[in-house]
Structure 1
Amino acid sequence: MASENPPAGTPLAERASFADSKGKGVDMSEDQTSGGVEDAQTDGAAYRTGASMLRDSEYTVNVQLSDLQADPNNPLYSIKSFEELGLDEAVLRGLREMRFSRPSKIQERALPLLMANPPQNMIGQSQSGTGKTAAFVLNVLSRLDVSPGMINVPQALILAPSRELARQIVGVIQVMGSFIEGLKIATLVPMESNRNQPVEASLVVGTPGTVQDFIRKRLFNTQHVKVLVLDEADNMLDQQGLGDQCIRMKSSLPKTTQIVLFSATFPDSVVRYAHKFAPNANQLTLKHEELTVEGIKQLYLDCDSTEHKYEILVKFYGLLTIGSSIIFVKTRASAAEIERRMIDEGHTVVSLTGGVDGQKRDEVIDSFRKGTAKVLITTNVLARGIDVQTVSMVINYDIPELHAPDAGERVADPQTYLHRIGRTGRFGRVGVAVSFVSNKEEWTMLMDIQKYFGTDIMRVDSRDWDEVEDVVKKVIKPSAK
């Protein structure tokens, strides 16, 4: 097997010019031999159809207004403090509770546009961890009527692609809205016990399929919904099934509903579709080169084979537990197998994939947030939006790729790479993202990702473990608490 690949530790330039192998290279996933589509599925992978926190001073938010005659640099379209927005004191108290002293760059530009009256649609893009969740939650809370006659009437709907992200958004709302008298929140996610009860809350957070199910059963009255938010919007509009559900949902809302789309990434093909979904929207964008997070040290290690990947991962365990770490793999079966092997060898790890039932998923993510479990193995189902501030390292055990079953070659997925590594380096902290490369196809995909973002992914020689430890510890030890 090793003869079909460059030797371990081969420099970037040499690997890039490595002659095309006659075979298929190392089989990346032994679980694909199990035969079943469910077993081999790329859990949470984006389809090929188009599919943290940065130091605030390192990027520029570009604003394109729906009113092309207006000047986006007008002071009316920017703020320097939350007080300038004329917020209710209860909301300001919630912001102080969250320790928001001043708006981030995305909030400076997004909030005046989001909260303008009459409401305007928005398509907003910013790096992971720059406060986009707080921005759309602030807008939603400011538009709710929580008078006695309206507290049980749904007035805002926030959609997220996963159960975990929906629960996390609810957590943000609960803190920011903790001083709002009469605020009621409904969480509509898969595998909950309230599937046959009518929605009686002013704010609804959920996943597209479950929310659509409530609407279909006439358990969710959408006649008074003022705001629809899609978090990780590119993923939902681009993914097969979710996009159709979002369209059906939107068609059930009043024509005057404000449509807000937020994500760290918006591929060009999705942007075109997003403008149809949210017509006449104000748009906030960043360049590809400004999307990667400054505080994240990006590395890669060469591995001889799939088994060598696992051996390197086990050697990494001591570094993984300095803070908290997330290991991203391609399939559910891979996650289960790595978890089993590491536990058998005496290591403490947990795994979470789309195949796990709801209550178990909640228990796993909650234990990870609390630090009871420090190493989490997962698929792309947790690549987006999840904010656990103690995460100091992300491992790309498998390079993220687009789900392209009919393609002749494997295709890199830069957007998912960005979302994955954005699980570390949150709120200005530092972090490390390490990618494992074991064959030419993986190397080519990583090189494509590097080129897309115009960034440098540093090679560390996997044969020199002292160097690996030195590089990683220099980054994560100062940030570990």
Structure 2
Amino acid sequence: MSGDSWAVAVDFQEVSNPPMQFDFSKKVDRIRAPRTMRGDINGNLVPEKKENGGVKKDGDGVDLAEQSLLNKLIRRTLVRNRNQVEVQQNDPSSPLYSVRSFEELRLKPELRRGVYTMGFNRPSRIQENALPMMLAQPPQNLIAQSQSGTGKTAAFVLAMLSNINPANKWTQCLCISPTYELALQIGQVVEQMGQFCPDLRLAYGIRGNRMERGVKLQEQIVIGTPGTVLDWCTKYKHIDPKKITMFVLDEADVMIATQGHRDQSIRIHRMLPKICQMLLFSATFEDSVWKFAEQVVPEPNIIKLKREEETLDTIKQFYVVCREKEDKFTALCNLYGSLTIAQAMIFCHTRKMAAWLAENLSLEGHQVALLSGELTVEQRAAVIERFRNGKEKVLVTTNVCSRGIDVEQVSLVVNFDLPVDLDGNADNETYLHRIGRTGRFGRRGFAVNMVDSKHSMDIIKQIEMHFNRKISKLDTTNLEEMEALIS
């Protein structure tokens, strides 16, 4: 696609390090670094490091927006999702329609070519069910749950590209995302999928992208953050919201966790015509997300992922009784010496403990990678990529890595510190995410929990009760017992 076809000519070859200045068409002067970004020593923009309320003291809290961006950066291909998809249709009498190939969707030839060029040979699980609804005539609203990496972004981008009329030189599709970086990621997909659409134009409604007041955008698609998009619709009149035919709200769970974004999103929604198609996506659907979705998406079709409980069926769970961190380390070394381990992930509660453990494992001759919230999102993605490629065999991490990282070779997960919530009780959801890093795709895996106090033993009992699964005691000094239990 020629640069002249775009409102924003961005070099997306290294989207994790966007350039300091972008080239724009004559209507858009330049972009400055948003307040959430800072320059590194090379002049690249990187996210400002955040110290979010985590667990305790220097425990690593999980920033939802950063986690979402990290997942997008490290997932270059579709993950193999085993979840069953549950579809709830707004009109139960309508025939349930899904597709097994992109040919069935009767896409424009240039869009189908873009899809295949991106490496999508057939629709993913979420795409099979969502695309027919998003492309239906008359338009249908949709609320969909899907983890990052399942082809969700490609699905709604394909819907936007199918929806627009390139001959109309005004904004027809609005997509809002909680952060600047996530908006750029969506834009990259638009550029890749729409590369054979010569009249397609895209603009970014992000802080720093300034235009003369009252100038109407001619770009058919606008991707941005809620605050800037709201200003473009109201204060600066760059967009006529009454002409919007599709509204996409991505990362809804992250959106409502970000101060101000929820109200701004609702204000944008209220300006749109009733015939506008509404699409909302979220990785999780807690009560607060459902309440928000119901405000934004009237009469929706709903696609949910059934919870993947079977993950635990392929994972053998153990606990090891220790006294202090040195005992834990000895038990870990015994374990590593007894098992045939492809790769291992070890979870710690604090950055300090993770750094201590990584250093001591390195001294023992292990190839170790360290991952914690001190790193930028881009640095974390680089560490995970090295681990995925097998350049390091052990990944020591805090909670920043407990979700969404699929490495097939991981056969052992160790909870060096057990996951607890702010009240000191078992954090069952984090436990499931952690040990779910092993036993991927039906392979057998092992999860070992280090118990160093009566309180941590209580945590093990709480986890057993919650999942209704037995966690067996393991004596790492008894080689014969270990062989019998793990065989």
TM-score by structure 2 length? 0.62
The answer on whether the counterparts of 1:384 and 1:419 sit within 8 Å (CA) in structure 2 is yes
Aligned amino acid, residue 347 of structure 1: H
2:374 equivalent to 1:355 = yes
Residue deviations 1:260-313, cap 9 Å, x none? 2232x434554344433544332233555x444378425232232451333334
Distance 2:220 2:480 in 1: 56
Residue deviations 1:50-105, cap 9 Å, x none? xx96774xx643322334xx23xx54433333322222334444554566554454
2:445 equivalent to 1:432 = yes
State the SS of the aligned residue for 1:400. Answer: coil
Question: 5 Å matches for 1:82-161?
Answer: 82-96=102-116, 100-125=120-145, 131-132=151-152, 134-143=154-163, 155-157=173-175, 159=177
Give structure 2 stretches of 5+ with no counterpart. Answer: 1-53, 65-77, 212-216
- Cα separation, partners in 2 of 1:271 and 1:432, compared to 1, 3 Å: farther
Distance 1:178 1:390 in 2: 35
Residue deviations 1:418-472, cap 9 Å, x none? 444454555x463635241414544554555555556x46536242456657877
Residue deviations 1:91-147, cap 9 Å, x none? 444554566554454433333223334544433346786555554454455446667
- Cα separation, partners in 2 of 1:122 and 1:187, compared to 1, 3 Å: same
The Cα of 1:373 is off from its aligned counterpart by 3.5
2:386 to 367, 374, 394: 367
- Cα separation, partners in 2 of 1:335 and 1:107, compared to 1, 3 Å: same
The answer on whether the counterparts of 2:348 and 2:415 sit within 8 Å (CA) in structure 1 is yes
State the SS of the aligned residue for 1:354. Answer: coil
Structure 1 counterpart of 2:427: 412
State the SS of the aligned residue for 1:330. Answer: coil
TM-score by structure 1 length? 0.63
Q: CA RMSD in A?
A: 4.9
Residue deviations 1:137-194, cap 9 Å, x none? 54455446667957xx79453647897x888877877766666657788999xxxxx9
Query: Computing the radius of gyration over CA atoms, which structure comes out larger, 1 or 2?
Result: 2
Give structure 1 stretches of 5+ with no counterpart. Answer: 1-35, 47-51, 189-193, 475-481
Q: Larger RCO: Structure 1 or Structure 2 (Cα < 8 Å, ≥ 6 residues apart)?
A: 1
2:278 to 234, 238, 258: 258
The answer on whether the counterparts of 1:335 and 1:351 sit within 8 Å (CA) in structure 2 is yes
The Cα of 1:365 is off from its aligned counterpart by 3.7
What percent of counterpart residues are identical? Answer: 34
Structure 1 counterpart of 2:101: 81
State the SS of the aligned residue for 1:79. Answer: coil
Residue deviations 1:392-437, cap 9 Å, x none? 54444333343x3xx4x424242x34444454555x4636352414
2:325 equivalent to 1:301 = no
- Cα separation, partners in 2 of 1:443 and 1:221, compared to 1, 3 Å: farther
Structure 1 counterpart of 2:362: 343
Structure 2 counterpart of 1:28: none
Distance 1:176 1:467 in 2: 55
2:395 equivalent to 1:376 = yes
Distance 1:377 1:154 in 2: 46
Distance 1:425 1:160 in 2: 32
Residue deviations 1:172-226, cap 9 Å, x none? 77766666657788999xxxxx9745599977888xxxx4575588799775693
Distance 1:65 1:293 in 2: 28
Distance 1:371 1:174 in 2: 31
- Cα separation, partners in 2 of 1:162 and 1:156, compared to 1, 3 Å: closer
2:86 equivalent to 1:62 = yes
Structure 1 counterpart of 2:295: 276
